[in-house]
Amino acid sequence: MNKPTVPKGTRDFSPIEMAKRNYIFNTIKEVYALYGFQQIETPAMETLQTLMGKYGEEGDKLLFKVLNSGDFMAKLSPEELAENNSLRLASKLCEKGLRYDLTVPFARYVVMHRDELQMPFKRYQIQPVWRADRPQKGRYREFYQCDADVVGSDSLLNEVELMQIVDTVFSRFKIRVLIKINNRKILTGIADYIGAPDKITDITVAIDKLDKIGLEAVNAELETNGITPESIAKLQPILALSGTNEEKLATIARTIASSEVGLKGVEETRFILEKLKTTGLNNEIELDLTLARGLNYYTGAIFEVKAVDTPMGSITGGGRYDNLTGIFGLPGLSGVGISFGADRIYDVLNTLDLYPQEAVDATRILFINFGEKETDYCLPIIRQVRAAGLSAEIYPDSAKMKKQMSYANAKQIPFVALAGDDEMQAGKITLKNMTTGEQTLLTPQQLIESIT
């Protein structure tokens, strides 16, 4: 008998972990709903036709593929077998794969259901995704994504509301965050301005690392990628840009004044920041021209969120994209979305010890089991307690008192009820507060009031 294990890179979630995760997911869901987003779910498996070619060559390799059912070998020719090419053979052996993210399934959903959907369509989706990545600390092969997107509207009010959602969610978590915002169009304008429009990807990939590797290393990388010294020189004042968001916007607008698309990006960013002043945010929002995030995907606003009080990478991100569904034959549908990093938020809440007690509370009261007679006395009372909305248990066996009390302790149950002969004769229960040790003799109704 081998010891059972879980597959590499996957995890079980214990009751306490689930309570914390539910707190995170429920908070995000509540806020999404407050803004009129509606939940959808898609199947864990998608056809490989839907998944392949959407995440680059590397992504294709990281897809978990599901073996065809039945006699899958019958469909293989001896030649195909003899070729012994794993990658090519996989597509013969498998027609389905596990979803790699929520974006491609969402695009597929929108195309398949376009006739039922009312545009703009505001959906959220909280489901696991799977990637055959090499597992390492904080990186799993199964993890949840929590996405919200609006498709079918170009209005920047969507960006404004997504920022409000981010602000509200982290306010509820009591995590202080810095929201960073940028715009792909400004980045295009910068590439135009420094005379390297064709190098925009290299430029943004490099300057995105400014925080991590510093200015010198960024410049070195730029040079390696064939950006001319003149272009690099022109870029320096932009990288060094400081001041308020308004000051930065004013400076960059002057700098890239010759780039029409660049100015459009400035204007969009100004609109978003101004509207957010009207609504008010609890957290700071900062224009960061080095922010790039999956540049080839985003076409307008780009967001990223970091915790202020603990070092941790991006805990939320998103942006505007064009043509979400073009790849499935429905062109012209643009959208904007955000994605909360649940695993990282989990860690931040743990590090900063921010889980509210009620989120992790399990059972409110345990009734001690002294035997059948006492149980008969307790059962109708327990029913009343539960009818009042309070979670209650009776220890199922009339085990030793010590064992029952250690069960209460292990489950962190705050109250214990005891009813022996005296209590039964008086029609009462002794309530023990497990924190203070205090014991009180109460009627069932008083007991309910005491623990509510």
**Residues annotated in a binding site for L-histidine:** 101-103, 131, 145, 149, 293, 297-298
Among 43, 138, 226, 332, binds a copy of itself (CB under 8 A): 43
Q: What is the DSSP string of 324-355?
A: TTGGGT--S--EEEEEE-HHHHHHHHHHTT--
CB 448 within 8 A of CB 390: yes
Site string for a copy of itself, 75-114 (x = CB under 8 A): ------x--xxx--xx--xxxx-x---------xx-xxx-
Cis (ω within 30 of 0) for the bond into 237? no
Smallest separation (angstroms) from a copy of itself to the CB of 142: 5
> Residue 239, interface with a copy of itself (CB under 8 A)?
no
Site string for a copy of itself, 298-327 (x = CB under 8 A): ------------------------------
Cβ closer to a copy of itself: 3 or 137? 3
Please list every residue from 196 through 235 that binds a copy of itself, using CB under 8 A. none
Smallest separation (angstroms) from a copy of itself to the CB of 422: 21
Quick one: DSSP state of residue 12? -
Question: What amino acid occupies position 109?
Answer: Y
Cβ closer to a copy of itself: 77 or 242? 77
Among 215, 217, 233, 362, binds a copy of itself (CB under 8 A): 362
Among 311, 329, 371, 437, binds a copy of itself (CB under 8 A): 329
Contact segment (CB under 8 A) with a copy of itself among 35-43, 178-186, 187-195, 226-234 equals 35-43
What would the two tokens of residue 140 be?
């799993």
What span, in angstroms and rounded, lies between the C-alpha atoms of 132 and 100? Answer: 9
Quick one: DSSP state of residue 371? -
Site string for a copy of itself, 148-187 (x = CB under 8 A): --x--xxx-xx-xx--x---x-------------------
Smallest separation (angstroms) from a copy of itself to the CB of 228: 41
Backbone angles phi, psi at 126, to 5 degrees: -130, 100
> Residue 297, interface with a copy of itself (CB under 8 A)?
no
Cβ closer to a copy of itself: 37 or 193? 37
Other beta carbons within 10 angstroms of residue 295's beta carbon come to 20
CA proximity to 315, closest of 287, 351, 340, 284: 340
Task: Classify residue 252 by burial, with Cβ atoms within 10 Å: 0-12, 13-18, 19+.
Answer: buried
What would the two tokens of residue 112 be?
């398949």
CA proximity to 385, closest of 322, 429, 421, 345: 429
Angle at which helix 245-255 crosses helix 184-193, to 10 degrees, equals 40
> Residue 424, interface with a copy of itself (CB under 8 A)?
no
Among 407, 420, 424, 441, binds a copy of itself (CB under 8 A): 407
> Residue 405, interface with a copy of itself (CB under 8 A)?
no
> Residue 401, interface with a copy of itself (CB under 8 A)?
no
> Residue 135, interface with a copy of itself (CB under 8 A)?
no
> Residue 416, interface with a copy of itself (CB under 8 A)?
no
Query: How big is the site for a copy of itself, counted in residues (CB under 8 A)?
Result: 108
Cβ closer to a copy of itself: 255 or 334? 334
- Report CA torsion sign: 292, 295, 297, 301: positive
Provide the CA 15 distance to its chain's centre, in angstroms: 20
- Report CA torsion sign: 188, 317, 100, 123: negative
SS3 string, 59-119, reads: HHHHCCEEECCCCHHHHCCHHHHHHCCHHHHHHHHEEEEECCCCHHHHHHHHHHCCCCCCC
Contact segment (CB under 8 A) with a copy of itself among 181-189, 199-207, 238-246, 372-380 equals 372-380
Please list every residue from 56 through 75 that binds a copy of itself, using CB under 8 A. 61-62, 64-67, 69-74
CB 35 within 8 A of CB 159: no
What span, in angstroms and rounded, lies between the C-alpha atoms of 150 and 152? Answer: 7
> Residue 396, interface with a copy of itself (CB under 8 A)?
yes
> Residue 415, interface with a copy of itself (CB under 8 A)?
no
What span, in angstroms and rounded, lies between the C-alpha atoms of 366 and 416? Answer: 5
Smallest separation (angstroms) from a copy of itself to the CB of 449: 18
> Residue 394, interface with a copy of itself (CB under 8 A)?
yes
What span, in angstroms and rounded, lies between the C-alpha atoms of 278 and 164? Answer: 11
Smallest separation (angstroms) from a copy of itself to the CB of 109: 6
What span, in angstroms and rounded, lies between the C-alpha atoms of 130 and 123? Answer: 21
Cβ closer to a copy of itself: 95 or 221? 95
> Residue 122, interface with a copy of itself (CB under 8 A)?
yes
